[in-house]
Structure 1
């Protein structure tokens, strides 16, 4: 038995688009309980639909980017390049052009732009990266890759090393975004103002801030790498007072020290 599936769409520019493909089903498998579409059939169907949608959307985006925003002319094509875009419903190989800047508006410039890189800079959709990072953070990379390969038609999800790289890359982006937010955040909190009495020798008025660093060398027997560790403590000088925050982290780069120290010492909201 052959199932013919047709995908039709009407573009914003008014052009019609349709693509059809066949899915084969054997009636001999009905006696074995193989009724309806299996997971593998669903992977095949969704992979074909995803391929048609991605190719058409990329074609529309290239048409839009070829129009110069200043004079309305078309940008010249320098070359064509091939790329594989990874999605939750399979990998889609696409061919797209490299565009030159408008030679009428900027005849002296030879800069190029890639339409596919603008909408998919990671060669993978954000949804696939989010699912990979979410599963990779909750369970082992091998188990997470097995789950993804069971339900998603992405052949790269069977490699647990790929999932590990995705998870670590997403975690690094989250850390960098948090550091940037903390480094640009204002410290002018209203509840930071306090009344200090002029009492010499009062230990309760002191704030002691202790910092210590250590260089941990590489042990060739156990592998790993060399890194620096920073340990800090902030608290009052009086005995019996509530201890302040204690924190430790890796690295002594000046760009990371400032937001890292400030984040645990933030006043309660």
Structure 2
């Protein structure tokens, strides 16, 4: 048996919906080791789903802010950098274009990064809550291990306020012939750029 999961994204601008396959599972037979999702599969699925959703949200936000709100002219792009955002479902490296404002309407206003402006904090409230909740119940080391057992966190990701660490990876489990392809591991991956935010004639200063 082959089971596929697809994510359909429909923006508010009326563009055709995009369909992305985020996971594919295969099962042979039925036993206690092959029934339903397994922990590693669920973690990989959540990580892939998170990356796909964030990519779509960032692209929509960049497209919306890449035009002058007054005259509608396309804004020139000064360059691209990446910012790291830590969530309960993975550590994300997000492409962050820096845009020049419209010189005709806004004069010599400084360049700006719409993604950085939308994300002044680089950690999700849910991850912060889990870190504080578990840290109140157990040691920092146990907190790291428990969260990495059940969430698609990077083994080397940092939990505030302690320094970086190397967590242990959960071992595979279950019987029967089962395979999953849900976008690979939970490592940090740069998210795709919005093709509408192309570099302008001026360089990075």
What TM-score results when the alignment is normalised by the length of structure 2?
0.68
> Over aligned residues, Cα RMSD in angstroms?
2.3
Number of residue equivalences: 161
Contact 2:9 2:56 in 1 (8 A): no
Unpaired segments of 5 or more residues in structure 2?
A: 163-205
Once the two structures are TM-superposed, the CA of residue 85 in structure 1 deviates from its matched residue by 2.5
Tell me which residue corresponds to 1:267.
none
Once the two structures are TM-superposed, the CA of residue 101 in structure 1 deviates from its matched residue by 1.7
Once the two structures are TM-superposed, the CA of residue 2 in structure 1 deviates from its matched residue by 4.0
Question: 2: CA distance between counterparts of 1:138 and 1:164?
Answer: 16
CA deviations 1:185-218 (Å, max 9, x no partner) are: xxxxxxxxxxxxxxxxxxxxxxxxxxxxxxxxxx
Tell me which residue corresponds to 1:113.
112
Contact 1:98 1:112 in 2 (8 A): yes
Unpaired segments of 5 or more residues in structure 1?
A: 167-269
**1:27 maps to 2:23:** no
**1:18 maps to 2:14:** no
Contact 2:27 2:34 in 1 (8 A): no
**1:128 maps to 2:124:** no
Question: 1: CA distance between counterparts of 2:145 and 2:4?
Answer: 31
**Which structure would you say has the larger RCO, counting Cα contacts within 8 Å and 6 or more residues apart?**
2
Question: 2: CA distance between counterparts of 1:32 and 1:132?
Answer: 32
Contact 1:77 1:99 in 2 (8 A): yes
Which has more helix, going by share of residues?
A: 1
Determine which structure has more spread, i.e. the larger CA radius of gyration.
1
Residue 23 and residue 91 in structure 1: after superposition, are their counterparts in 2 closer, same or farther (change >3 A)? Answer: farther
Q: How does 1:184-195 map to 2 (within 5 A)?
A: none
Tell me which residue corresponds to 1:241.
none
SS at match of 2:104: coil
Once the two structures are TM-superposed, the CA of residue 143 in structure 1 deviates from its matched residue by 1.4
CA deviations 1:31-81 (Å, max 9, x no partner) are: 562321101111111111111110000011111112323333332211012
Question: 1: CA distance between counterparts of 2:97 and 2:87?
Answer: 21
Residue 44 and residue 60 in structure 1: after superposition, are their counterparts in 2 closer, same or farther (change >3 A)? Answer: same
User: Quick check: 90-99 or 41-50, which moved more?
Assistant: 90-99
Which portions of structure 1, spanning 4 or more consecutive aligned residues, are displaced by more than 4 angstroms? none
Q: How does 1:85-100 map to 2 (within 5 A)?
A: 85-100=85-100
Q: How does 1:1-269 map to 2 (within 5 A)?
A: 2-15=2-15, 16-25=17-26, 27=28, 33-109=33-109, 111-156=110-155, 162-165=158-161
Contact 2:43 2:152 in 1 (8 A): yes
Question: 2: CA distance between counterparts of 1:107 and 1:118?
Answer: 20
